[in-house]
Amino acid sequence: MSRPTTYTQARADALLEWMSEGKTVKSWCKANDVGLSTVAQWKSANREFAEAYARAREDQGDAIADDAVDTSEDMQIPSDQKRIIVDTKKWYASKMRPKVYGDRTQLEHSSPPTQRTSEEELEHLVQKAAAHPTQAVRIRAWARELLRRIPPVEGEDP
């Protein structure tokens, strides 16, 4: 028997609900004998479905994040396994909803474009922006390279 490829609203609704519960598209496809490429075709051919799919992905990220919290509180799961499960769910949620669950580094700069920023000011911005030690190192290296490349403002010592 061949896999169903015809788009129906019932199939689409079932997939979107499945995703909103935090389950994967791949697992729905396997359970319903539908190929992943078929779902991709549905998205390409149906704008309304593609928009609903994007919203379901966001809901999926929320459900996975909620599930990560539930898993972290489950005392029956050994600590090592729990850490791996929670980290995986956190990572996946950050891909589904990067603005909500992703790592953020925000850098604010208020100097006028004609004014050269001092190393002390850049260091202050690095301290303010870096949420993780590895980010601070990367930002500091970027700032030093930037200072090296920017020609001094007229009348200022290099």
CB 71 within 8 A of CB 82: yes
Instruction: Assign 71 a pLDDT band (cuts: 50, 70, 90).
Output: very high
Instruction: Assign 59 a pLDDT band (cuts: 50, 70, 90).
Output: very high
- For the entire predicted model, the pTM comes to 0.61
C-alpha dist (Å) from residue 35 to 5, 7, 158: 8, 12, 62
Half-sphere exposure of 44 (CA within 13 A, CB side): 6
CATH number of 9-101: 1.10.10.60
CB 62 within 8 A of CB 70: no
Q: Where are the beta strands (DSSP E) in the chain?
A: none
pLDDT tens string 80-103: 999 999 999 999 888 888 888 888
pLDDT of residue 113: 56
Where in the chain are all domains bearing CATH 1.10.10.60? 9-101
